[in-house]
């Protein structure tokens, strides 16, 4: 395990942006990833940007590495189920991916009645919704309760936010055709089952997750972006779930709950966006690293040195241009 000193040594060597002037015409910026478009590939650089409430609050040391390495772990663990985007990981922060023709929907899979955003199932259920994304939800369920089986609640990217949509509407609007959608659901449930099984071996519950998929030039369904990372998934601790749930307590979560509580404590609102101080940045980093180690069962190994992160990345991606 990496020490707090080592994390602190990276507080001034974080990756907020990876824009290089020499490749500016191939550059794109996502929420978390900076991207370079090549002919049939894309270089996905996972940054250390931490956002909440639609604002970038600052950078968390080593967060980009944790996300990129966690995604790589899961792509490897699921490669027998479905092809994935990964061509190469030439740097701890970088994945070189096959360029895919992306499906215009995100595939959200959920095993528990939880969440807090507008598109989350608990928010909707709590407001009286009993048919969500085409799924019938029984009356009388309580927050954080387990569904009988995993459900799929897709979203589409509307202007600047996600919108819930049913499979029927996906097909009717011509976003994905019926046969392809059936394949997407089958693959998503298999991926989620694998995630659940491996997480359980590590004492964790994979609560819910979001997949992005696309088609390769031959028309093969392929998993893209990231899978089962702390940014795209929710994890709870397995052995305390039952008791806490029975007592009406929230599950112990491995995700961004810690940071969320800190932000609430600082009184975050639309006109008060607190800046992350070094202490919280270090603590959040330690939690991301802990999550990586618990999920993968592997130590988080990285060279923590003084090489400026941008310099290292530029050198490692240069051969692709
Ligand atoms: N293999 C791929 N082919 C094409 N597009 C991809 C691939 N993998 C990811 N993307 C897209 O690249 C972007 C990744 O940036 P990210 O910061 O994750 O985006 P977002 O802001 O949508 O979360 C997203 O728009 C994602 O849909
Ligand atoms: Mg993304």
Three-state SS across 241-276? HHHHHHCCCCCCECCCHHHHHHHHHCCCECCECCCC
**CA nearest to 33, candidates 122, 97, 81, 87:** 97
pLDDT, one tens digit for every residue, the chain (321 residues): 789 999 999 999 999 999 999 999 999 999 999 999 999 999 999 999 998 878 899 999 999 999 999 999 999 999 999 999 999 999 999 999 999 999 999 999 999 999 988 889 999 999 999 999 999 999 999 999 999 999 999 999 877 788 999 999 999 999 999 999 999 999 999 999 999 999 999 999 999 999 999 999 999 999 999 999 999 999 999 999 999 999 999 999 987 778 888 998 998 888 888 999 999 999 999 999 999 999 999 999 887 878 999 999 999 999 999
Domain 4-99+256-320 annotated CATH 3.40.50.2300: no
Domain 102-246 annotated CATH 3.30.470.20: yes
- Whole-number Å distance, alpha carbon 304 to ligand 1 midpoint, is 27
Cβ within 8 Å of residue 153, ≥6 positions away: 108, 109, 110, 119, 121, 132, 133, 135, 164
- Whole-number Å distance, alpha carbon 302 to ligand 1 midpoint, is 25
Q: Whose CA is nearest to atom 9 of ligand 1?
A: 225
Quote the tokens at residue 5: 């000193």
Give CA–CA dist 46/65, Å, rounded: 7
The whole-model pTM stands at 0.96
Could you tell me which residues are beta bridge partners of residue 215?
A: 101, 221
Q: Which of 225, 227, 231 to mutate to test the pocket of ligand 1 (most atoms within 8 A of CB)?
A: 225
Query: What is the per-residue pLDDT for 302?
Result: 84
Give CA–CA dist 249/242, Å, rounded: 10
CB 286 within 8 A of CB 66: no
Angle between helices 278-296 and 257-265 (to 10 degrees): 160
- Whole-number Å distance, alpha carbon 31 to ligand 2 midpoint, is 7
Query: What is the per-residue pLDDT for 272?
Result: 87
Ligand 1 atom nearest to CA at 30? 17
Q: Which of 28, 29, 33 to mutate to test the pocket of ligand 1 (most atoms within 8 A of CB)?
A: 33
- Whole-number Å distance, alpha carbon 226 to ligand 2 midpoint, is 7
Quote the tokens at residue 319: 């051969």
**CA nearest to 232, candidates 195, 263, 284:** 195
Query: What is the per-residue pLDDT for 158?
Result: 75
Q: Whose CA is nearest to atom 8 of ligand 1?
A: 225
CB 93 within 8 A of CB 64: yes
Q: Whose CA is nearest to atom 24 of ligand 1?
A: 30
- Radius of gyration of the chain measured on its C-alpha atoms: 20
Three-state SS across the chain? CCCHHHHHCCCCCCCCCCCCHHHHHHEEECCCEEEEECCCEEEEEECCEEEECCEEEEECCCHHHHHHHHHHHHHHHCCCCCCECEEEEEECCEEEEECCEECCEEEEEEEECCCCCCCCHHHHHHCCCCEECCEECCCCCCCCCEEEEEEECCEEEECCEEEECCHHHHHHCCCCCHHHHHHHHHHHHHHHHHHHHHHHHCCEEEEEEEEEEEECCCCCEEEECCCCCCCCEEEEEHHHHHHHHHCCCCCCECCCHHHHHHHHHCCCECCECCCCCHHHHHHHHHHHHHHHHHHHCCCCCCCCCCCCHHHHHHHHHHHHC
Q: How far apart are the first and last CA of the chain?
A: 35
Q: In the structure, which protein residues have their CB atom closer than 6 angstroms to any atom of ligand 1?
A: 30-33, 35, 42, 85, 97-100, 102, 212, 214, 224-225
Query: What is the per-residue pLDDT for 303?
Result: 76
Query: What is the per-residue pLDDT for 268?
Result: 86
Query: What is the per-residue pLDDT for 306?
Result: 81
Where are the domains positioned within the chain? 4-99+256-320, 102-246
């Amino acid at each position: 395990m990496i020490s707090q000193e080592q994390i602190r040594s990276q507080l001034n060597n974080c990756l907020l942006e990876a824009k290089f002037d020499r490749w500016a015409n191939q550059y794109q910026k996502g929420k978390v990833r900076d991207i370079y478009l090549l002919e049939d590939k894309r270089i996905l650089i996972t940054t250390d940007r931490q956002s909440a409430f639609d604002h970038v609050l600052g950078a968390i040391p080593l967060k980009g590495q944790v996300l990129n390495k966690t995604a790589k772990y899961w792509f490897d663990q699921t490669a027998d189920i479905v092809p994935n985007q990964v061509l190469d990981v030439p740097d701890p922060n970088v994945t070189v991916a096959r360029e895919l023709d992306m499906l215009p929907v995100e595939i959200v899979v959920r095993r528990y009645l939880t969440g807090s955003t507008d598109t989350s199932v608990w928010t909707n259920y709590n407001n009286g919704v009993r048919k969500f994304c085409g799924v019938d939800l029984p009356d009388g369920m309580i927050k954080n309760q387990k569904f009988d089986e995993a459900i799929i609640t897709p979203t589409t990217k509307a202007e600047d936010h996600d919108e819930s949509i049913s499979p029927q509407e996906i097909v009717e609007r011509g976003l994905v055709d019926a046969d392809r959608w059936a394949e997407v659901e089958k693959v998503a449930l298999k991926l989620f089952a694998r995630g659940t099984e491996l997480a359980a071996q590590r004492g964790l519950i994979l609560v819910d997750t979001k997949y992005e998929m696309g088609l390769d030039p031959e028309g093969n369904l392929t998993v893209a972006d990231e899978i089962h990372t702390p940014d795209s998934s929710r994890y709870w601790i397995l052995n305390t779930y039952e008791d806490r749930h029975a007592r009406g307590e929230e599950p112990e979560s491995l995700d961004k709950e810690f940071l969320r509580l800190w932000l609430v404590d600082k009184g975050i609102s639309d006109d008060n966006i607190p800046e992350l101080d070094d202490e919280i940045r270090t603590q959040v980093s330690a939690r991301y690293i802990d999550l990586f180690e618990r999920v993968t069962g592997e130590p988080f190994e990285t060279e923590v040195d003084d090489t400026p992160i941008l310099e290292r990345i530029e050198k490692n991606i240069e051969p692709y241009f």
